[in-house]
Amino acid sequence: LEYAHSLRDGDQALGVAHRGVSPHDIMVTYRGEAKLLDFGVAQSDDPELGMIEGRLGYMAPEQAEGRPGDVRSDLFALGVVLWECLARRRAFPVERARELVGATLPPLAAERPELDPALHTLCERALARHPDARYQRAADMRADLAALLAADGGKRAQLATHMHGWFENERQRRAQRVHELMGAEPTPASVSDRPTTFGLSLEPAPVRSETAASSIPPPMPKPIAPKRNYSTVAAAGLCL
């Protein structure tokens, strides 16, 4: 988020904001890295306000009121995601944006009193109703989170290990499907090596011998290219 929020064109800030941060847009790789997807496309249809920016249940109060969001709205939404991860339940199970205007969220301390008080404070600051009372920069929120993780001994490698354990069957299934679509023989997937290859072999293709090469007939005139099977290509892309 900080990278996107800080984008500039020369001396002019571009004002890029996600405006729809939610669990649906946060992906975790097998290397333990979090990736944020779909910038600026989230909208919610409210019977009274029409189409408004943000994803229902994660939008900041100003967005729920139909006002434009900014980088601080993203940090509010991220605070909601964090609260839900820690409280283990939905924060705002609402059906209309107007329901969010006066909605209140119980303090995280009431849901998980055993957690570090510094984490309670961080979450409360991210979820402040007034934008000026929230984190003003994603980098500041990240610094506080990083300090808590360092104190707790949390590391990216630990998350990567969990990802391999949780989704190994899924990785194997997708690797098998990719090989089927590509017409290749499957190779055993490794849990610890090259987690983003889904078990695909990255070894170079074998070099043909001179005898085999000499037996190749001269090239024929190039035929008209057949239509591509875009459904197969798309399926392989989704699997990857």
Angle between helices 138-152 and 117-126 (to 10 degrees): 160
**What mean pLDDT comes out for the span 153-177?**
87
For the stretch 60-69, contacts whose Cβ atoms lie closer than 8 Å and that sit 24 or more positions apart, written own/partner, are 60/131, 61/100, 61/101, 61/129, 62/131, 63/19, 63/97, 64/97, 64/98, 64/100, 64/101, 65/101, 66/97, 69/17, 69/19
Residue 104, token pair as written in the block: 């209140």
More confident residue, 103 or 188: 103
Q: How many CA atoms lie within 13 A of 157 on its CB side?
A: 3
Rg (CA), the chain: 24
Tell me the per-residue pLDDT of 75-97, one tens digit each, with 9 for 90 and over.
999 999 999 999 999 999 887 87
More confident residue, 204 or 99: 99
Q: How many CA atoms lie within 13 A of 59 on its CB side?
A: 31
Kindly state the DSSP code that residue 25 receives in the 8-state scheme: G
Regarding pTM above 0.75, the answer is no
Cα-Cα-Cα-Cα dihedral sign, residues 58, 62, 67, 70: negative
pLDDT at residue 202 in the model: 36
pLDDT at residue 233 in the model: 36
